[in-house]
């Protein structure tokens, strides 16, 4: 692939988490869509929940951009593909503008993308100007403007605007009567939000938007000379069963694309609905998700449990990431202290805790190179099983998540980003144990 395309692009960031980046990005996407524009959204950094919500707001899959996990060349290729299909690209940043290694600011500078700052103005007025100037000059970054969130009144918006000096106030959004709900890992999944489409339409309608300022943004061209690297079709003829439901919903769209590019056919099934592993499967992928919220249902899904035990006993390759690992332990103790029997392929107990157990980028060094990804979980796995490897935290290089191997089952709290090392992923699903 060698193409060049252009679109208006902004990176939506803030001083910290909790400022309303996802709500504002969703509102802006829906607003632009209703004006007849084609919109694509990306999420900076590892995340599964925000992309699900943003995909519903924009009507298109939301892919990840990260200079370390995804890589500069693949980020450029993803942006070029999106620019060829859309008029507008919105990139939602991660945490605060300068947080992380790499940060959202690093991503913006790498591609010459201007930054749109979301500012929670609920407890400030003129001081908003000082905050914005600091964000602009610290890096510095190319600051396109500001969207003031949780504004109390028209007069409040005027006070914020007057404090911005020469920085445009692109939009304001009032305090929300109905906002996007959250739980311990972040936003709730879109299918759990009652009347989500009307919620998204509602926040889009409340976004007071300066169309002239938006139309004044320059377009940015992306040359995808560095195309996605080709991968060998080593999974040709293989069918991978992928668990997909409310308990197993944390998967990068790029992971599924990567499996298909290697030639695999994908067959989706729902353990929550007590569906067994499809009979046509040659391997099983159990992504992360929220098994702790559905532990009783999973404990009673005897057809699913019997089928995964049978598959494992037959030597079928299985990859279980985070929530997948939790569902294969002997028991899972939820946040209410209730203990439920799980599939039992991994000797040990999973216990939920109120304190975060791990968060951040990690990489797993394999004979094929480094499979990059991340970890984010509130549970711990108590087991006597000896790990076969550990991922490494980025950038500290400290020991990260344990990787367990039981027969042809590979299990870890580590979430891999498959395109970072397709050969390692193929090896797992072919059952050769990365040896």
Known catalytic residues are 322
- β-bridge partners, 341: 331
Q: Give the residue from 177, 200, 175 showing the smallest Cα distance to 55.
A: 200
- CA atoms of 418 and 372, how far apart (whole Å): 8
């Amino acid at each position: 692939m060698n193409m060049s395309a252009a679109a208006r692009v902004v990176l939506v960031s803030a001083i910290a988490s909790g400022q309303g980046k996802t709500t504002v990005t969703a509102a802006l996407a829906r607003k632009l869509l209703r004006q007849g524009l084609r919109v694509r959204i990306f999420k900076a950094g590892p995340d599964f929940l925000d992309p699900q919500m943003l995909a519903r707001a924009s009507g298109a899959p939301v892919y990840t951009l990260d200079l370390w996990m995804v890589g500069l060349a693949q980020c450029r290729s993803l942006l070029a593909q999106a620019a060829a299909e859309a008029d507008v690209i919105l990139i939602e940043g991660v945490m605060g503008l300068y947080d992380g290694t790499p940060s959202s600011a690093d991503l913006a500078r790498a591609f010459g993308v201007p930054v749109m700052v979301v500012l929670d103005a609920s407890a400030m007025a003129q001081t908003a100007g000082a905050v914005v100037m600091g964000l602009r000059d610290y890096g510095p970054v190319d600051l396109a403007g500001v969207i003031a969130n949780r504004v109390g009144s028209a007069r409040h918006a005027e006070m914020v605007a007057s404090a911005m000096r020469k920085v445009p106030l692109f939009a304001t959004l009032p305090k929300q009567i109905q906002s996007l709900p959250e739980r311990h890992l972040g936003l709730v999944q879109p299918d759990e939000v009652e009347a989500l489409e009307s919620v998204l339409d509602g926040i889009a309608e409340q976004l007071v938007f300066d169309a002239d300022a938006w139309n004044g943004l320059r377009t940015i061209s992306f040359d995808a000379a560095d195309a996605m690297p080709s991968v060998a079709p080593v999974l040709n003829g293989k069918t991978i069963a992928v668990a997909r439901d409310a308990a197993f919903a944390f998967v990068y769209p790029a992971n599924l694309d990567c499996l298909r590019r290697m030639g695999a056919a994908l067959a989706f099934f729902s353990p929550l609905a007590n569906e067994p592993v499809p009979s046509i499967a040659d391997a099983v992928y159990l992504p992360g998700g929220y098994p702790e919220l559905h532990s009783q249902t999973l404990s009673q899904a005897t057809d699913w449990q019997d089928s995964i035990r049978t598959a494992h006993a037959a030597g079928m390759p299985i990859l279980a990431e985070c929530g997948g690992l939790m569902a294969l332990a002997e028991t899972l103790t939820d946040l209410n202290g209730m203990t439920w029997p799980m599939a039992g392929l991994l000797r040990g107990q999973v216990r939920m805790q109120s304190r975060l157990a791990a968060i951040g980028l990690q990489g797993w060094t394999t004979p094929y190179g480094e499979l990059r990804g991340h970890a984010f979980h509130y549970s711990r796995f108590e087991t006597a099983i000896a790990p076969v490897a550990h991922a490494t935290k980025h950038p500290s290089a400290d020991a990260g998540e344990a990787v367990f191997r039981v027969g042809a089952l590979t299990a870890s709290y580590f979430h891999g980003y498959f395109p970072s090392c397709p050969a390692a992923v193929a090896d797992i699903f072919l059952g050769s144990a990365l040896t």
